[in-house]
């Protein structure tokens, strides 16, 4: 395991707060969101990923989000794993060097999307990025969005590079995670909140979580219980979070429902950027019902007003 990065635990794939019209980054809300994650005990914040709407960010905005996340998180002793992936290898290298220069502790690199490269192409893509500078890389396999998976045999080959330190497995496949663990010692992070406990059973050491935007302390506690082999406590937290984990990622495209939930809790603007659109009234009603049903699973709100907003 790379000496400069802690892999075990909860890593929050944090939303990018926009101004109400979606035209700019809301810096104050971003700082507040990062601070809340740190206070919740997460191992890392992960800005500019899928949940952070990275495909809609201009490069200067992307850099600005990472810079602010680093400033706030490092001030509280929390890591930053910055999204830097691209389907252009040259662009991925440029973003990798950019986030390294901004002080990120590691970079999250998704498999090249849309191009649908072969496994050899995927291997060469990641090796090129890993060779470009001495910044740890967390691989990110999410075939549902990319059209291709990083297959276990390719993960095994890539794990030999000293800068490749973990993989976020969002394949939804315990078989894939099991095969990776059988082939190599590269740490695995679940890429699906509903599967964190199942992935842990086959060797995963944590999660890159969406639900921890809403309940960072609860997700962190579940990961701590799993690390301590306290399955009873972990399962209790899993069962309490499961309706949120499944519901918020099925009502609409991530991060639309999560931003809606944060808005209802008084924690975010709820604005998303085109081509995503705000949650419909029907979706908002579903999110509100999920929050009301899950009141006992949510972290303590910052104020009574926020508690009321979550269930109004």
Has 168 been annotated as catalytic? yes
Within a domain: 189: yes
For the chain, state the CA radius of gyration.
18
CATH of the domain at 169: 3.20.20.70
Contact by Cβ (8 Å): 166, 35: no
Q: How many domains does the chain have?
A: 1
Of residues 113, 114, 123, 140, which has the active-site annotation? 140
Q: Which residues, in sequence order, are CB contacts of 167 under 8 Å at separation 6+?
A: 138, 139, 140, 141, 150, 155, 180, 186, 187, 188, 189
Predicted local confidence at residue 298, as pLDDT: 81
Q: Domain residues for 14? A: 9-230
Within a domain: 118: yes
Token duo for residue 139: 């691989």
Predicted local confidence at residue 131, as pLDDT: 98
Contact by Cβ (8 Å): 169, 141: yes
Predicted local confidence at residue 296, as pLDDT: 75
Spatial distance between the Cα atoms of 31 and 226, rounded to a whole number of angstroms = 29
Spatial distance between the Cα atoms of 198 and 173, rounded to a whole number of angstroms = 10
Phi and psi dihedrals of 61, rounded to 5?
Answer: -70, -45
Within a domain: 57: yes
Spatial distance between the Cα atoms of 213 and 255, rounded to a whole number of angstroms = 10
Predicted local confidence at residue 50, as pLDDT: 95
Q: Which residues, in sequence order, are CB contacts of 150 under 8 Å at separation 6+?
A: 111, 122, 126, 139, 141, 158, 167
Spatial distance between the Cα atoms of 114 and 22, rounded to a whole number of angstroms = 26
* Number of C-beta neighbours around residue 60 at 10 A: 9
Within a domain: 256: no
The alpha carbon of 213 is separated from its chain's Cα centroid by a whole number of angstroms, namely 9
Spatial distance between the Cα atoms of 256 and 291, rounded to a whole number of angstroms = 15
Question: Per-10-residue mean pLDDT for the chain, 312 residues long?
Answer: 79 97 96 98 98 97 98 98 98 98 98 97 98 98 96 98 98 97 98 97 98 97 97 96 93 96 92 96 96 80 46 48
Predicted local confidence at residue 277, as pLDDT: 96
Of residues 113, 168, 242, 259, which has the active-site annotation? 168
Within a domain: 50: yes
Q: Which residues, in sequence order, are CB contacts of 48 under 8 Å at separation 6+?
A: 16, 54, 57, 62, 65, 66, 82, 83, 84
Contact by Cβ (8 Å): 150, 121: no
Predicted local confidence at residue 103, as pLDDT: 98
Within a domain: 82: yes
Has 113 been annotated as catalytic? no
């Amino acid at each position: 395991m790379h000496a400069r990065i802690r892999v075990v635990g909860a890593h929050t794939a944090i939303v990018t707060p926009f101004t109400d019209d979606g035209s700019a980054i809301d810096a104050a809300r971003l700082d507040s969101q990062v601070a809340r994650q740190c206070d919740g005990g997460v191992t890392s914040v992960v800005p500019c990923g899928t949940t952070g709407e990275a495909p809609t960010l201009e490069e200067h905005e992307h850099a600005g989000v990472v810079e602010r996340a680093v400033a706030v998180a490092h001030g509280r002793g929390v890591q930053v794993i910055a999204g830097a992936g691209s389907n252009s290898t040259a662009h991925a290298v440029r973003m990798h060097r950019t986030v390294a220069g901004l002080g990120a502790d590691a970079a999250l690199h998704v498999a090249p999307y849309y191009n649908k490269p072969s496994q050899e192409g995927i291997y060469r893509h990641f090796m090129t990025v890993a060779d470009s500078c001495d910044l740890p890389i967390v691989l990110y396999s999410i075939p549902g969005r990319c059209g291709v998976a990083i297959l276990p045999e390719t993960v095994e080959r890539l794990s030999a590079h000293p800068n490749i330190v973990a993989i976020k497995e969002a394949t939804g496949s315990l078989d894939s995670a099991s095969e990776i663990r059988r082939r190599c010692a590269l740490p695995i992070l679940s890429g699906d909140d509903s599967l964190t406990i199942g992935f842990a059973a086959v060797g995963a050491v944590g999660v890159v979580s969406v639900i921890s935007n809403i309940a960072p302390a609860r997700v962190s506690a579940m990961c701590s219980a799993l690390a301590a082999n306290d399955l009873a406590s972990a399962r209790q937290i899993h069962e309490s979070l499961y309706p949120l984990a499944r519901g918020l990622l099925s009502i609409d495209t991530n991060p639309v429902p999560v931003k809606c939930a944060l808005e209802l809790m008084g924690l975010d603007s709820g604005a998303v950027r085109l081509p995503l659109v705000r949650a419909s009234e029907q979706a908002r009603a579903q999110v509100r019902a999920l929050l009301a049903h899950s009141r006992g699973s949510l972290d303590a709100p910052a104020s009574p007003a926020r508690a009321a907003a979550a269930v109004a």
